[in-house]
Amino acid sequence: MFGRLNHVGVATPSIVRAREHYAGLFGTAAVGEPFDLAEQGVRVCFVDAENTQIELIEPLDDASPVAGFLARNPAGGQHHLCFEVGDLDAAIAQATAAGARVLGSPRIGAHGTRIVFLHPRDMGGVLVELMEAPDGGH
Amino acid sequence: MFGRLNHVGVATPSIVRAREHYAGLFGTAAVGEPFDLAEQGVRVCFVDAENTQIELIEPLDDASPVAGFLARNPAGGQHHLCFEVGDLDAAIAQATAAGARVLGSPRIGAHGTRIVFLHPRDMGGVLVELMEAPDGGH
């Protein structure tokens, strides 16, 4: 079963401007430092809301899947929802049995644990990331 | 300042099918009963994730703003993010001072407290709902 909402992914054409925007909404202390996820072709930055995080995502180049999203949504917007699971392999088996297509193979995500994406067409139009909970959850 | 993420709004063409889908992901006990918000032209249903909720939203008629979203996204998808605030009037003043346009006047939302929406063009492409926290918290 899906667990807590780890983060909401929000695509942005400028992580620098988005950080300023979110610092104004959540306070400067809530906004982390950006870092690259080169394997996924994105630069990300996490913003702390009280009970979850916003992951700001800027593509590193035009080959990034997020670049396609921004071509359709130039101002940026909600990109994906990431839910924690206790056992990623079991969650993939559950999702596959329910007819959801898994996009690619599990890889290491922004929090250092294994992640995988599920096809939005099988998830009511929502791109869903499943993430093995760090240290069994928090 | 913005507080906790009260819910993620997810538009769906069929709240009946979406409920079944989410019951399979989060468990039957996590899925509430649908109810109408006639004033907003939608039928909604809340799904409990561990730390927040998903609000499934189906338009009641073609005049609903959500009907336009579904015309562009027939399978449904992420519609808005709702953040709790302690004082809605102060939050509106803060958002307006930061250049965000407020959509309409405050009204009573799905949780019985005052809510308002901020224009996505001023919020990095994200439609944001601000909601006065129920009973000063959750």
**CATH code matching the domain that covers A5-132, chosen among 3.40.50.2300, 3.10.180.10, 3.10.310.30, 3.40.50.970:** 3.10.180.10
CA distance A19 to chain B (A): 11
What is the band of A138 on the pLDDT scale with cuts at 50, 70, 90?
Answer: very low
Return the higher-pLDDT residue of A99 and B120.
B120
Task: Identify any residues that bridge with B59 across adjacent strands, giving them in sequence order.
Answer: B42
CA distance B70 to chain A (A): 10
pLDDT of B42 strictly over 70: yes
Burial status of residue B65 (CB atoms within 10 A of its CB: 0-12, 13-18, 19 or more):
middle
Chain A interface, best mutation among B126, B127, B128, by max A CB count within 10 A: B126
Helix (H, G, I), strand (E, B) or coil at B22: helix
Mean pLDDT in residue range A88-100: 91
pLDDT of B134 strictly over 90: no
CA distance A22 to chain B (A): 9
Residues of A with CB under 8 A from a CB of B: 1-5, 8, 10-12, 18, 21, 24-27, 49-52, 73, 75-78, 81, 83, 98, 120-121, 123-126
Q: What is the rounded CA–CA span in Å between residue A88 and residue A68?
A: 27
> Which of A21-25, A49-53, B99-103 is modeled with the greatest confidence?
A49-53
Strand pairing category for A35-37 and B5-11 = unpaired
Task: Return mean pLDDT, chain A.
Answer: 93
What is the band of B135 on the pLDDT scale with cuts at 50, 70, 90?
Answer: low
Mean pLDDT in residue range A80-87: 96
pLDDT of A135 strictly over 80: no
Chain B hits for A81, Cβ within 8 Å = 8, 78
Mean pLDDT in residue range A66-82: 96
CB contacts < 8 A, A to B, total 97
Write out the catalytic residue numbers of A: 129
Burial status of residue B11 (CB atoms within 10 A of its CB: 0-12, 13-18, 19 or more):
buried
| Nearest chain A residue (CA) to B18 | A124
Task: Return mean pLDDT, chain B.
Answer: 93
Q: What is the pLDDT of residue B65?
A: 87
Q: What is the pLDDT of residue A136?
A: 56
Mean pLDDT in residue range B104-121: 93
pLDDT of B34 strictly over 80: yes
Domain ranges of chain B: 5-132
pLDDT of B138 strictly over 50: no
The rounded percent of chain B whose pLDDT value lies above 70 is 97
Mean pLDDT in residue range A92-115: 91
A2 to B11: CB separation less than 8 angstroms, yes or no: no
pLDDT of A78 strictly over 90: yes
CA distance B31 to chain A (A): 13
Q: What is the rounded CA–CA span in Å between residue A8 and residue B4?
A: 13
Chain B interface, best mutation among A12, A25, A26, A82, by max B CB count within 10 A: A25
The rounded percent of chain B whose pLDDT value lies above 90 is 85
Mean pLDDT in residue range A103-116: 92
Mean pLDDT in residue range A12-26: 95
Quick: pLDDT tens for B45-63.
999 999 999 999 999 999 9
A8 to B81: CB separation less than 8 angstroms, yes or no: yes
**DSSP alpha helix (H) spans, chain B:** 15-26, 65-72, 88-97
- Concatenated DSSP letters of A89-107: HHHHHHHHHTTPPEEEEEE
Q: What is the pLDDT of residue B129?
A: 97
Mean pLDDT in residue range A93-103: 90
Quick: pLDDT tens for B83-105.
999 999 999 998 898 889 999 89
What is the band of A62 on the pLDDT scale with cuts at 50, 70, 90?
Answer: very high
Chain A hits for B85, Cβ within 8 Å = none
Mean pLDDT in residue range B113-122: 95
